[in-house]
Amino acid sequence: MDLSQEKIENSTKVDKKMLIGLHLGNGYGSQPGAWRMPGVDPTSYTSFDARVKQAQSAERGKFQFIFLPDGPGAMLADIENEAPSFNLDVMLTLAAVARETKRIGLVATGSTTFNEPYNLARQFKALDVMSHGRAGWNAVTSSGEAVAANYGRTIPSSEERYGRAHEVIQLIQALWGSWEKDAWVHDQESGQFAKSEQILPINLKGKYVGSRGPLYIPPSEQGQPIIFHAGGSPNAHELAGRFANAVIGAAFTIEDARAQRNAFREAAERYGRNPDEIKYIPGLMTTIAKDRRTALDRRIQLTEHLFPQRVAYLQQMLGVRLDINRLNEPLSKEQLEAARPSPFDPRSRHALKIAKEGWRLRDVLAHGVIDYHPVIVGPGMEAANHMQAWFEAGAADGFWISADVNADGIDAFVDEVVPILQERGLFHQDYAGKTLREHLGAPEQYGIDPRVSSPSKVSVV
């Protein structure tokens, strides 16, 4: 064990624990080619049983939540070779998972641009009741013309999308609170089913959306679902700072993650909230194996068919010519000296660092230097060290994990990484509470948060 590692391991006896979520996309895993790996059921795309099994693995690892991204509408760009990246339907998937799990939080993405708030309100609250208080809603404004085209529309401007999002979230929280906490009596003796004076319309209307209400669903064990957000723009900071208890993030360096986390925390403070009420959770992609070589070979098997286009992209990141026919050679001394990491791609410096370690070109790519999040390709200890370093640097409150191949990659994380984090006192041993609100340490809230409601955005009619 070298000194720096010892320092990391000894500095961990802290009370605060990190959060861990599992990314569940199309059911195969986060790497292209996952659907073709040995041991993977090629029909997992439509298998709700596969999703349930994967969620159960995460629950075995005491993950606080699973996270399902959504377009809505999956990209079919390379349908000849690759599975679409999303679930068939996020709410139906979570309903299936809710019935087969007990503790893990269930977070789905729902677009504020392409849904009516009343529909979102009833679906998420029904899921919350069904799962006994484990639902979370990742409220996003959606991006991409391909998604908009599914609704016969074009993507509205950022101002329009976020203007609507502020209204939609307030409206939904008001609907969630429209059936008061003690309203449901269900007293067979007296014959009173509910107290009508505690189930009241909300009568809200704004520039974009409105609803009379009330909703017809009683509170869950956590009251109402938790709000998540995913995005990194100043508009995203404002929306999340106002309403969210957790942010699904993407950052490549500790410095960037810390800056993003601080931006969300400052936004929360601007709305009179305690910054600890909002947890910043960046992504981490994993290929866990007994050693680096085995892990790299697994990644090569997964993504080799994409190497021609990835070499072309790596060339731009490093600013030097690379030869696709020299995949089995390290970059030459001349190439390394001439390389200039692109200032436009935050992954470029790391890519050059890996290249300078002397790996063959194919291994440089297999390190995941062109992936969407930092990538761990190696033994579980490396993932634990990365997570500890970010967590202790104030760059993250937790991580959402994208396994390379779900069929065995989730179990590899649970068996090889989680015990190290627990041993270091960084991750809980077991669920202390039953609801997602308890798992996140999110404060009690029912209905709209009076600290952040604004009559100028959504007014009473």
Which residues of this protein are in contact with ligand FMN, per CB under 6 A? 69-71, 109, 111, 140-143, 158, 230-233, 235-236, 248-250, 283
**CB of 436: closest distance to ligand FMN in angstroms?**
18
Considering beta carbons, is residue 25 or 219 the nearer one to ligand FMN? 25
Considering beta carbons, is residue 183 or 230 the nearer one to ligand FMN? 230
**CB of 229: closest distance to ligand FMN in angstroms?**
8
Considering beta carbons, is residue 45 or 184 the nearer one to ligand FMN? 45
Considering beta carbons, is residue 198 or 235 the nearer one to ligand FMN? 235
Closest residue to ligand FMN using C-beta atoms: 69
- Which residues line the annotated binding site? 70, 109, 162, 233
Considering beta carbons, is residue 199 or 250 the nearer one to ligand FMN? 250
Considering beta carbons, is residue 56 or 158 the nearer one to ligand FMN? 158
In one-letter notation, the amino acid at residue 396 is A
In sequence order, what are the residues at sequence separation of 6 or more whose Cβ sits closer than 8 angstroms to the Cβ of residue 395?
251, 254, 255, 257, 258, 261, 282
**CB of 432: closest distance to ligand FMN in angstroms?**
27
Q: Are strands 458-460 and 204-206 parallel, antiparallel or unpaired?
A: antiparallel
Q: Which has the closest alpha carbon to 329: 370, 300, 369, 358?
A: 358
**CB of 323: closest distance to ligand FMN in angstroms?**
34
CA separation for the pair 97, 346 (Å, rounded):
36
**CB of 282: closest distance to ligand FMN in angstroms?**
8
> Does residue 126 contact residue 217 with C-beta atoms inside 8 Å?
yes
Q: What is the DSSP letter of 341?
A: -
> In the chain, how many H helices and how many E strands?
17, 12
> Length of the chain, please?
461
- In 133-276, the DSSP E strands lie at 135-140, 204-206, 210-211, 226-230, 246-249
Break the chain down into helix, strand, coil percent, rounded to 5.
40, 15, 45
Considering beta carbons, is residue 25 or 379 the nearer one to ligand FMN? 25
Q: Which has the closest alpha carbon to 276: 308, 241, 228, 312?
A: 241
CA separation for the pair 349, 217 (Å, rounded):
51
Q: Which residue has the tokens 């009683």?
A: 218
> Does residue 199 contact residue 180 with C-beta atoms inside 8 Å?
yes
In sequence order, what are the residues at sequence separation of 6 or more whose Cβ sits closer than 8 angstroms to the Cβ of residue 326?
361
**CB of 301: closest distance to ligand FMN in angstroms?**
26
- Which residues line the annotated binding site for FMN? 70, 109, 162, 233
**CB of 67: closest distance to ligand FMN in angstroms?**
8
- In 236-374, the DSSP E strands lie at 246-249, 279-288
